A and B are shown apart, each in its own frame.
Chain A
Amino acid sequence: MAKAKVSRKSTSIDMTAMCDVSFLLLTFFILTATARQPDPLDISTPSSTYKIKVPDTDIAILSIGKGQVFYEIVGKDIKMATLDKMGEKYSVKFTPEERERFGVLGAFGVPIQNLKQFIMMDGDQRTKSGLQTGIPADSTNNQLAEWIMQTRNSTAELHATQTRFSIKGDSKEEYPAVKKVIDILQKQKVNKFSLITSAEGDAQ
């Protein structure tokens, strides 16, 4: 009797399709991952057990550290609209190129008078220049209040929602410095805001 021959099959699988799919996904994730802007202020946020994530849109972040306040608006359109309004208010004229560059700028902490110069620098120069002295927030020259006001106006106009304000304070920051910022917000009847904290393991 003739024995049935077991045909030897190759054990290798064609990986091409799998490779294609995985690289497609990889490209997608790389592109959607937002490049993190370097933080101009060295801030270590306090930890908490809260688990609510900060929303992505229509928020503004006030960073407080070393007695300085830095401001960050999320969203390019809001940023540019706010810049226009601020320029009008303080009679600083911004060119289209400057607007465009401001649109991708992260947190900043320069008085509006130096903002033009600051926008045209590149990342390295910005940290070196020493221009980042925080946004003036004292009672005679309260630019921070103005920024907050204009951001709220822009968000209301463009997105028809309210801006959410988040406070990102350094854990060692004195409470009065935080209070000063909270008071500015409360003066504009923003009584609800969030504090940005980092995650903490389960409390012991």
Chain B
Amino acid sequence: MAELDTSSGGGKKGKKVRSKKANTKVDLTAMVDLAFLLITFFMLTTSLSKPIAMDIAKPDKDDNSVERNELRASETMTILLGKNNKVAWYMGEAGKSEPSIESFREIRKSILDNKKKVADATGGRQIIMVIKPTTGANYQNFVDIMDELAITKISTAPAIDDENITDAEKDFMVKAGIL
């Protein structure tokens, strides 16, 4: 026990044989240790187990009241999500520039390059991203690409468009074997 013997025992030469009083103190150190360990555990699990949310806004489908802004083709980067964790991306209008096929590892560099190119060419304007998940893509790909946009600090809201995938885009993706 952690308690020191402070009584000057042994020196008494009493005549009476006293019945020894048992010490009623219990050492609580271990109990307190355990309690604090459990407290720490519950504190951390209650706040840390909360899942993380990624907010997504999609354009309203039937809202025609607002005038739709035309996107400048030269400042637009379109990313098509295909199967086998591949993406195809191109700048500008569909069909005019040859898309390139990349994996999710390489896309970040391309996004950053294009972001810089657009900013340099237009005097600091933000690049516009269009994300087109196709039927081949899985949910992980979609989350990954949104995450890439967050990592590369694209501040304009990306357009998520899973309706208007053009035939030219489809043809290219089929040819490349990612649709």
Residues on A lying within 8 angstroms of B by beta carbon are 8-12, 15-16, 18-19, 22-23, 25-26, 29-30, 32-34, 36, 45-55, 64, 166, 168-179, 182, 186-187, 189, 191-200, 203
A170 and B139 contact, CB distance less than 8 A: yes
Q: 4 tightest A-B contacts by CB?
A: A15-B28, A29-B42, A171-B140, A194-B53
Total contacting residues, chain B, CB less than 8 A: 49
A182 & B52 in contact (Cβ 8 Å cutoff)? no
Extra 5 A-B pairs, beta carbons < 8 Å, given A33-B42, A191-B57? A175-B138, A178-B139, A194-B56, A196-B54, A197-B147
The answer to whether residues A46 and B143 also contact, given A29-B42, A51-B52, A166-B53 and a CB cut-off of 8 A, is: yes
What is the distance, in angstroms, from A56's C-beta to the closest C-beta of chain B? 8
A53 adjacent to B49 (CB under 8 Å): no
| A175 interface neighbour in B2, B25, B36, B142, Cβ under 8 Å | B142
- Give the A-binding residues of B (Cβ under 8 A): 2-4, 6, 25, 27-29, 31-32, 35-36, 38-39, 42-43, 45-46, 49-61, 81, 133-144, 146-147, 150-151, 162
Q: Is the interface of B mostly helix, strand, loop or mixed?
A: mixed
User: Within the assembled complex, what's the spacing in Å between the Cα atoms of A70 and B142?
Assistant: 20
Residues of B within 8 A of A166 (CB): 53
- Min CB distance A31 to B, Å, is 10
Asked whether, in the complex, the Cβ of A196 is within 8 Å of the Cβ of B60, the reply is: no
